[in-house]
Chain A
Amino acid sequence: MATALARTKRSRSPMESEDMIAGWVFLAPAFIIFATFIFGPIFYSLWISFYERNSFGTINNFVGIDNYRQILDSPDFWNAFRNTAWFSLGVVPTQTAIGLVLAVLANRKIRGKSFFRTAFYFPSISSSVVISLIFLWIYQRNGLVDILFNGLNIPVPNPVWMQNPNGIIQMTLEQFGADSVPPWLRGPSIALMSIMLLNIWTTAGTMMVIFLAGLQDIPGDVYEAASLDGASRVRQFRDITVPLLRPVILFVVTLGTIGTFQVFDQIFVMTSDGGPARTTTTLVYLIYQEGFKFGEGPGYASALATILFGIIFVLFLVQRHFLGQTENR
């Protein structure tokens, strides 16, 4: 933001050095804090990712890219990557779709509009730890979900929701007589699914608010013209709302992807060490385990963090490629 500000200023008028200095002085506190607590650690983390270190810093050997090589060979990394990918794949499209639909509904002139807006947004502003604890009760044996399932006469899973490592694709395939399903095809476990549902529930509200803001930018006369031409509500949604919201959708999907690839607190609170059977160990949780639970140490964990950054960056580029072309039209 600082550079963007400086650039527009420069292009507008010949640089006035006094303003320039004043600008930097005003920016300095924020910039120094940012550099010390954000930039500094990021580059330090990149630096130690080339070292073999123990938790106390008493061992510190330069090993080049060995950590990275070791990570790519590690089944733990691929397991965590798989879990995170399933998590993201399940959560991002769902929360985007729900957020969009909620936004469109909450944007209409209906009674109690602001109540619904507040109600849907509420989970997003509540503490995620508190919500996770509440969901832990809900998912317990004979908890709310079990009561609901029993009432509908649907069999509840065994082991219990949060303790069930069986993948949902695996279970489906086994219904059709498949014997041993390879790990990458098992799909998210029931435990991970349970956390995904919680995540969708909490973030859909945030996405709704962003979409609501985007909807304000679509001029009403476009819809007016469309209804004069006889376009149905659904048609208007598909051919006007969605295309015109494209930049917002890109923003929401990017935000969602970053958020889901960084999921940690819910895993930390709701599972015992990324269990059952490692099916809820996400990449960030693995970083925590390797770095702080006497795993491979901070160097290895930092290398993992760098790889995670790379993954998110590549995903962003891909999403921008597919969703971000509105400016050229």
Chain B
Amino acid sequence: MVEDIRFHRLPRRTFVGMGVAGAAALALPVSLRNARAQDVTEVRLTQSPSSPAEQNVMTSLLATFMAQHPDIQVNYEPVTQQYNTKLQTDLAAGTAADVFTFGSLPSPDFIQGGVLAPLNDRMAAAGITTDQFYPGLIAAFQQGEELYGLPKDFSTLGMIYDPAIFATPTDTSTVIGGTPSASPAASPAASPAASPVAGEGLAVPTTWDELRTVATQLRDQTGQAPIVFGPSFDRYIAFLYQGGGSVISEDGTSIVIDTPEALAALDFYHGLYVDGLATTFTEVGAQWPGDAFAKGLASIVFEGPWLIGFMAENAPNKPYGIAEMPAGPAGKATMAFTEAYGLNAASDVQDAAFTLIAWLTGVEGMTQWSTGFGVLPSRPEVAAVYLEQFPEREPFLVGGEYARPWQLGSGGERFNTEANAELQALFAGQQDSATTLANMQARAEEIIRLG
């Protein structure tokens, strides 16, 4: 799953016993295949599981695949640390797996690096079309008309709020835990942030203006900043799109970060901080915004589905609501953090490897994967089944319809670091928002290699 976003400024976690689990996972398919059929093709699959739970679901998913395809033996090679670094060196050395996952951010680098086999012909032959997937996810793995990876799953950003404060829901918002919407005013005890405004019952904001209004109200009542976020580009960019800005022009030929729309978006985002409506997670002593929310230090954070597991583990009794991101002057926008299965261009077993990719991203594989692990399915077709099991995740899934891919062109990963640095300088008061955007524009022109 695409948990990088959540962990990227957290201490890297090592899962003790992962090695044991990995060994068990590798041993499993072998034992399943005691009665070896003739001409079994071996396909190597590598991926970076975010947790032992994800690895277990992946293992059982592959077992189902192999039961249906006795002629294909999948060797699963999970990599829990430094996946991209290992993958790059494996590809350079010619020892990479036949099927590997790659994220939307470095996707253009993989595509332009020529290490991925194009999929259009194979998809046409197998009857797979791009409109079977959410458009924002397909866009992340396309160059021109050619597709280089099929989306495994995705996460979007949503607005997580304290339901004890925001009692009036929106059309799509959902609440987890507590006594949802029945008598919100009567149950303010769960959250310390709730007590000063008990019984107030604000409406969940759906636009920038409403967000500012309720945040101001809360700040004035409690004396604390209700929103917790950070000077990070992967959050600002959602506001950038909501405000009608962009990073790369529609035709993909120029960098367009420094625009009046972008400035308005940055002034809105940074303005929340300047006006005391928002604070950073580090300033409240949290590891990331979700951590601040779990500790009751925030009433609103902008995070993704990864927060759900975190809340279950760290604040199981705290109720929380999920809503779509607020709409800006240019309408709704959120980010799709996604990952695709790619076909190694140097693989000797491309036919079998593509059979595996097609099944994993097909209706059956996607259903088993998304309902088993809880990540959002990249196929709208699976949405109904998925929501039956995870109804509270609807706001995240709805975002898939208008989400923009988390992608910044070739060299985007490097540029993301520079963009974060500029935002950090802005938040520390070293420069103003206009300078920040001008610097971002200059750095992007230098770093991003346009197609």
Contacts and interface: CB of A to CB of B under 8 A. Distances in A.
A294 B428 contact: no
Contact of B8 (A133, A143, A269, A272): A272
Interface string A119-143: 0000000000000010010001111
14 contacts: A56-B92, A58-B114, A133-B11, A142-B285, A143-B285, A160-B283, A165-B428, A166-B428, A275-B417, A275-B420, A276-B425, A276-B428, A277-B424, A290-B414
Interface string A268-300: 010011111110000000000110111100000
A159 interface: yes
Interface residues of B, number: 37
Contact of A141 (B113, B231, B282): B282
A136 B11 CA distance: 9
Contacts of B113: 54-56, 58-59
Contacts of B91: 55-57
Interface in B103-142: 106, 109, 112-115
A293 B87 CA distance: 12
Interface string B235-269: 00000000000000000000000000000000000
A305 interface: no
A59 B114 CA distance: 9
A162 interface: yes
Nearest to B110: A56
A273 B425 contact: no
A294 B92 contact: no
Contacts of B109: 54-55, 294
A163 interface: yes
Interface of B: 8-9, 11-12, 84-85, 88, 91-92, 106, 109, 112-115, 231, 280, 282-285, 410-414, 417-418, 420-422, 424-425, 427-428, 430, 447
A294 B411 contact: yes
Interface in A239-292: 269, 272-278, 289-290, 292
Contacts of A136: 11
A84 interface: no
A168 to B, nearest CB: 14
A164 interface: yes
Contacts of A160: 282-283
Contacts of B412: 294
Contact of A294 (B114, B115, B413, B421): B413
Nearest to A158: B283
A153 B8 CA distance: 34
Contact of B88 (A55, A272, A273): A55
Contact of A165 (B8, B410, B417, B425): B425
B285 A292 contact: no
A273 B417 contact: yes
B280 A159 contact: yes
Report the 4 A-B pairs with minimum CB-CB distance, sorted nearest first.
Answer: A272-B9, A141-B285, A276-B424, A277-B425
Nearest to B232: A272
A141 B421 contact: no
A129 to B, nearest CB: 9
A56 B447 contact: no
Contacts of A140: 282, 285
A54 B108 CA distance: 12
Contact of B280 (A163, A274, A294): A163
A163 B282 CA distance: 8
Contacts of B424: 163, 165, 275-277
Contacts of A142: 285
A273 B420 contact: yes
Interface in A209-267: none
B92 A57 contact: yes
B82 to A, nearest CB: 9
Contacts of A277: 421-422, 424-425, 428, 430
A165 B422 CA distance: 11
